[in-house]
Amino acid sequence: MGVDGCKGGWVAIRHSEDGSLEVKVFGAVLEIRPLSDVVAIDIPIGLTEKGPRECDQLARSFIGPMARSVFPAPVRAVLACTDFECANAVSNEKQGKGLSQQAFALVPKIREVDHAVQTSDHFRERTFEVHPEVSYCAWNEGPLEHTKRTVEGKLQRRALVESFFGRYAFTFAREFLPRTVADDDILDAYAATWSAWRIAAGVAVSLPGLAPRDRLGIEMAIWF
């Protein structure tokens, strides 16, 4: 199962061994935990106390022209903040660098997943961090030429999705999901599902190859 954050919660796409597809929006990430042997999710898992995560740095290098799509994960102390001013100040204090508004917008979902990892052994054991652009780069055997916000970029990503999941995969998801789920959320969830298949098959690669652990013992790696 591949999971991506969306308006109203999390969009999940499950691809079974028989080729069937299921799509659903979950309001809370812990609702997902019993539904799949492998869950690949587009959200940081494991956070540093100070400084950048190695996996984020490696991911930006890996995808080259799309590097700006990898937002640096916040330091753990930022999760205690509920407003941007606090988060920015804490980030500056801990690592001498502020936090972007885009990165701060992800903090509630990072906090939710961090709680799930800490409180659910099932979730922790079966859930892996991915990044859609890293997955698409590996899938395409090279960086994509266009960003996902452009018409060309959407078509390029959709072509990869339909080459693996079937000709009508995107249309199927679009018809069954509410309009609050954006097209790029669907495409990102499919990229996560592609990585989930590779993890389940034992052929996935992680950045870095030997994942460091944060203060709580949580691995920090991006899989594809």
The predicted pLDDT at position 32 comes to 86
On whether the pTM is more than 0.75, the answer is yes
Q: CA torsion, points 198, 18, 153, 128, in degrees to nearest 10?
A: -30
Name the residue type at position 199: I
State the total domains in the chain.
Answer: 1
The predicted pLDDT at position 27 comes to 96
The predicted pLDDT at position 34 comes to 62
Looking up tokens 């079974």 gives 16
- What token pair was written down for 37? 């042997």
- In tens digits, the chain (224 residues) has pLDDT values of 999 999 999 999 999 888 899 999 999 999 986 667 899 999 999 999 999 999 999 999 999 999 999 988 999 999 999 999 999 999 999 988 999 998 899 999 999 999 999 999 989 999 999 999 999 999 999 999 899 999 999 999 999 999 999 999 999 999 999 999 999 999 999 999 999 999 999 999 999 999 999 999 999 999 99
CA–CA dist 56, 212 (Å, integer): 12
Residue range(s) defining the domain that contains residue 183:
2-223
Q: CA torsion, points 129, 223, 21, 126, in degrees to nearest 10?
A: -60
Name the residue type at position 83: D
